Structure 1
Amino acid sequence: MNKKKPTGLGKGIEALFQDNTVDTSKENVVEIKVSQIKPNPYQPRHRFDQKALEDLALSIKNSGVFQPIIVRQPDPEVAAYQLLTGERRLRASKIAQQKLIPAIIRDVNEEQMMEIAVLENLQREDLTTLEEAEAYNMLMTRLDLTQAQVAQRLGKSRPYIANYLRILGLPPEVKEMLEDHKLSMGQARTLLSVNRKPELIKLARKAVAESMTVRQLEQAAAKINGQNGTKKKRVQRKSPFVRASEGQLQEKFGTPVSIVNSTRKKGKGKIEIEYLSTADLNRILALLDVDLD
C-alpha cells in the first residue's frame, strides 16, 4: 500500500471548501447540466429526509437554486463532473426536473475530495452515529491513516475517533437500531462490553423495549458477563515499558493493541490487535506486509 503524506485539513481547506456560511459571490458560477453531474463516491451520508427533499424541490421549481453547488473538474473519460458539496440541492433539483443547476468548479485531488465530503457533513451535523463511524473508517482505510492522524486532521481527540470506530464492531441488527435512533451512542458503547454476541443482541432488544438508561445497561451487561461484584477478575498490572509499547503499537496500527504477559511462564505472552471490520483487518494486514492474494 502506498503511503500518503498527511496534509492537515486546516491548511488551505478554506480555499477548497466553502459552506453556506461563506460568501461565494466572488467565484465564477456557471450553469451546468444536472445530467452531467456524478455523485460524490465518498459521500458518507446515506439517509435523506424525502419530505424535506420534496419541499426543497418545490422551492427550487418556484425560485431556483440560490446557493450554487460545488463540483470537481470533469472526468476526462466520461466528460462528467463529480459533486463535492450540495447533495441535497442536486437531489432536489432532479426531483424538480431541472435541467441546469448553478455550480462552482474546483480543481481538487481524490484525497481532498474525500476529506471535503466528510468535513462538510460533520460541520453541519448531518451524519448519524453509524455514518460518522463509517466516515472515519473510510479515511483510515482509503488514505492509510492512523486514528491519531484522522483525529488531528478533523480537529477531534483520538479517544473520540476510537469510540466511534468501535461501533462498527456491533452486530448488524444492533447497528440498525442505532441508525434508527432507537439506541444512543452511549448505549451502543455499553453494549460493546457484552462478551457474547447472542447476549449482546438480546440486551439491545431489551434496552429498546424497556427504554433502559446507560446506567441500567451497564449493570445488565456486568451481570451478563459475570461481573456483578461478587467475583472480580484479577487485573494484571503492566509495567511502564509495556504500556509505552502498547501506545506505540496503537499509533502504528490505528486500533487498540494489548500486550498480555503469560502468568505461567516468564518472558512469554501475546500481542492482541483489535480490528473493527473486514476493511480494517485488510488495512492492518497491509501495514504488516501480509498479502493474502
Structure 2
Amino acid sequence: MKPSQFAKGFQARPDTTSSEKRTALDRLNAIDGLVKNSPGNSAAPARPMSTTAAPNVPETDTVDTANESAAYRAWRIEHGYKPNQVIELALKSIKPSPFNPRHFYLKSSIADLAVNLAKQGQQQAIHVIPDYDSPGTYFVSDGGRRVRALKEANKESVKAVVIDLPIGIQSYKLGYDLNVQRDSQTVFDNAVVWKRFLDDRHFQSQKELAEHLGLDESTVAVALSIAKLPEPVMHEMVARPDRFGSNMAYQVGRYHTARGADATLRLINKILSDDLSTRQVADIVKGRVSAQESVKPAGRQRYAQRLEIKLEGVSVGDLKSYGDDRIELRLKGLTREKRDDILRQIEKILK
C-alpha cells in the first residue's frame, strides 16, 4: 500500500474515528466488571494503605473474586484490600506504566489541573496496578495526568483503586479505551506508542496491531506515518488538537518528508495564523501553491492571533485579534455574576 493511500476515508477532526469509539465502547462493556467507577464506588471512604498483613479478609458478596490472578489475590489479602475500594497511596509510590497509552502531556494543561486540584481536591480516583516485583510501588493504569498535576500541586498522596490486570498490552488497551471515551487520546500519542510496540516486537506487523486493537489497518498506518515526524514538530501540533487531527497531521508529515523540520514548523505556524483547511494544506504539499502564498478564500478575513480563555481549567471561549484594530471576544457557559463582572471590567478598560 502506498503512503498516499493511507489517509483515504479519514475524517480530518476529531483525531478519534467513530469506529475507534465504537470498538472502545465494546471493550469497555467487556471490562466493566474489572474496573467500576460509579458514584457509589468513588464515594467509598479513602484511607492509607495498610502495611500490615490481614490474612482473614472476608470476601464480599457483591464482587466476583473467582477469576482473580494469584498474585493480585495474595496482594489483596496481605493488605486487607477489598476490590474496587478507594484508598490513599503515597504519590512517591506511583510510577508510570511502560504501556501508558499517553506520551504527550502539555505543561499548561498539567498546571491548570494542578490549580483545580489544589482548590477542589481530587474528585476521581486513579487506577493502579501493583508492581509485584517491587513491593510497595504501583504502575498507573489510568490517571497519569492527575498524578502529574498532584505532584505539581505539592500533594503527597493520591486516591486510587487497585485493579487486577497484568502490565502489558491488556493494560494499554484499558487505558487507551478510557482515553478515547474522554477524547484525550491523540493521534500523536498513538503514533509514538504504536511505533514503539512494533519496534519492541510486541506485534509483528501493523496489520496484527490493528487487529489486536480492533481498528482499521489504515488508522494504524496513518499514525505510523505521523510517527516519522520529530517530536519537537509533533509538540507544536499536540497543543492544538482542534486544528491537527489525523488528516491534517498526515499532510504535515508528508510535507516534512519533502521539506524538512524548519519548513514544516513554518507551515504549522501558517496553518494556525491563516486557519488553513486540510485541503489547502494538501494543495501546498502537492505543490499546487507555495506555503508562502496566500491561500485564504477571497473576502474572508482570518484572525491574526487567538487566545483560549479558561476559568478554573475549563475552556469557556476565546479572544481573537484581526488586523491592526479589531478584537473579538466570545465566551459561554458563564454564571450571570461572572458575566456581569467581565462586562464591568471591559467597560472600565474602555473608559
TM-score by length of 2: 0.50
Distance 1:183 1:12 in 2: 31
Instruction: Tell me the CA shift for residue 106 of structure 1.
Output: 1.8
For the aligned residues, what is the CA RMSD?
3.6
Instruction: Tell me the CA shift for residue 94 of structure 1.
Output: 3.0
Distance 1:40 1:224 in 2: 45
**2:55 matches 1:55:** no
Distance 1:114 1:122 in 2: 12
CA deviation vs aligned residue, 1:175-229 (integer Å, no higher than 9, x gap): 343234375532332344459633685366246325433323333333379xxxx
Find the partner of 1:37 among 94, 97, 116.
94
> Does the Cα contact within 8 Å between 1:45 and 1:126 map onto a contact in 2?
no
**2:159 matches 1:102:** yes
2:247 maps to: 186
Distance 2:112 2:175 in 1: 21
Cα 1:28–1:145, aligned 2, differ >3 Å: closer, same or farther?
Answer: farther
> Does the Cα contact within 8 Å between 1:190 and 1:214 map onto a contact in 2?
yes
**2:129 matches 1:129:** no
SS at match of 1:156: coil
Cα 1:177–1:83, aligned 2, differ >3 Å: closer, same or farther?
Answer: closer
Distance 1:150 1:31 in 2: 36
Distance 1:114 1:159 in 2: 20
SS at match of 1:107: coil
> Does the Cα contact within 8 Å between 1:129 and 1:178 map onto a contact in 2?
no
2:32 is matched by which residue type in structure 1?
Answer: E
Distance 2:279 2:188 in 1: 22
Alignment of structure 1 residues 125-274 onto 2, 5 Å: 125-142=183-200, 143-172=202-231, 174-181=233-240, 183-194=244-255, 197-198=258-259, 202=263, 205-206=266-267, 208-209=269-270, 210-223=274-287
SS at match of 1:110: coil
CA deviation vs aligned residue, 1:55-108 (integer Å, no higher than 9, x gap): 332235xxx434322211244335312221122333343344444333221222
Instruction: Tell me the CA shift for residue 166 of structure 1.
Output: 0.9
Distance 1:154 1:203 in 2: 31
Distance 1:149 1:22 in 2: 39
Q: Which shifted more, 24-33 or 163-172?
A: 24-33
SS at match of 1:135: helix
> Does the Cα contact within 8 Å between 1:36 and 1:79 map onto a contact in 2?
yes
Identical-residue share of aligned pairs (%):
20
Of structures 1 and 2, the one with the larger relative CO (CA 8 A, separation 6+) is 2
1:284 maps to: none
TM-score by length of 1: 0.58
Instruction: Tell me the CA shift for residue 167 of structure 1.
Output: 0.7
1:71 maps to: 128
In structure 1, list runs of 5 or more residues that go unmatched.
1-7, 226-293
Cα 1:78–1:32, aligned 2, differ >3 Å: closer, same or farther?
Answer: same
SS at match of 1:14: coil
Instruction: Tell me the CA shift for residue 158 of structure 1.
Output: 1.6
In structure 2, list runs of 5 or more residues that go unmatched.
1-25, 45-61, 63-83, 290-351
